[in-house]
Amino acid sequence: MFRYILRRLLQMVLAFFGTTLIVYALTFAGQGDPIQALAGERPVTPAQRAYLTEKYNLDQTGVGGFFYRYFDYVKDLLQGNLGESLTGRSIGDILQQAWPVTVRLALIALAVAIIFGVTAGVLAGIRRASIFDNSTLVLTLLVLGIPTIVLAPLAQYFLGVKWQLFPPTAGSDPTFYALLLPGIVLGSLSLATALRLTRASVAENLRADYVRTARSKGLVKRRIVIVHVLRNSLIPVVTFLGVELGNLMSGAIITEGVFNIPGVGFNLFRGIRTEDGPLVVGIVSVLVVVYLVSNLVVDVLYAVLDPRIRYE
């Protein structure tokens, strides 16, 4: 087990540098003129161009210049310094502010997905072909079909503006209540997938031999479902939710924009829009770490759920 985790951690280091290199290359390859982008629609004065070129090492061009900047970046990164965005703010500070609110949002979304998705999935799995099962299937189909970019403004308009059940936007230091609506919107997509995964898995496991054995031993149905079926059915769901956590962090771009939550997605969106290469790379590097760690947690959790899985 220890050896397994150690090996995974070493792999993570490799994966981290590989992904950041690719992201760095892509970000800077697709970039037009970052200095002009920074200045917006105004002409850039030569003095300012010289100042910014020097500050961001933009005078190093070509492949050599790329690696020069990349190694410069990695060197800073190893010292825990994410560098400065093109607007001159420390990316570390930006992330420190953006992180907590995004994590809260993602956790609410995840909780929504688990509480409603898994519960409804189990119920639907047990009562296959019932009215409940069919109606949840139709509902999830509907939710999966509506993209967040439609769902979020609709929810904001009806629940926030029209009926005033929730505040229409959350702001930077939101209460739990203010984050609830964006959390539900964000979680609805994973909710639908989690529901369908659970349902299929539960339905399949209900037909398994061990369930029949348990039933013939005279175990109560509730105990069979909760202890035996659910635990075995959760493996695909946990895999999905683990990866989804990473998705929720980065995928909050639209939701955070619509509900004005200055989190990670909000900053990533701004970085992309203003061609702020350092900011994009900085955020993505951190997101890569989140993905890697949540994947590791998922893999280790398998062993908890199913004792037959062993790591050597």
- Positions that interact with another protein (CB under 8 A): 1, 5, 32-33, 36-37, 39-43, 45-48, 50-52, 55, 87-89, 93-94, 96-101, 103-104, 107, 153, 156-157, 160-161, 164, 167-169, 171-173, 256-260, 262, 266-267, 269-270, 273, 275, 290, 293-294, 296-297, 300-301, 303-304, 307, 310-311
CB contact at 8 A, 236 and 230: no
Q: How far apart are CB 221 and another protein at their closest, in Å?
A: 25
Q: How far apart are CB 154 and another protein at their closest, in Å?
A: 11
- Alpha carbon distances (Å) from 206 to 191, 211, 229, 231: 22, 6, 7, 12
CA distance 271 to 273: 6
Q: How far apart are CB 182 and another protein at their closest, in Å?
A: 11
- Alpha carbon distances (Å) from 157 to 90, 117, 163, 265: 35, 25, 8, 21
CB contact at 8 A, 249 and 102: yes
49 versus 215: smaller Cβ distance to another protein: 49
21 versus 169: smaller Cβ distance to another protein: 169
Q: How far apart are CB 70 and another protein at their closest, in Å?
A: 23
133 versus 256: smaller Cβ distance to another protein: 256
CA distance 256 to 201: 33
C-alpha closest to that of 237 among 147, 302, 307: 302
Beta bridge partners of 84: 90
Q: How far apart are CB 127 and another protein at their closest, in Å?
A: 31
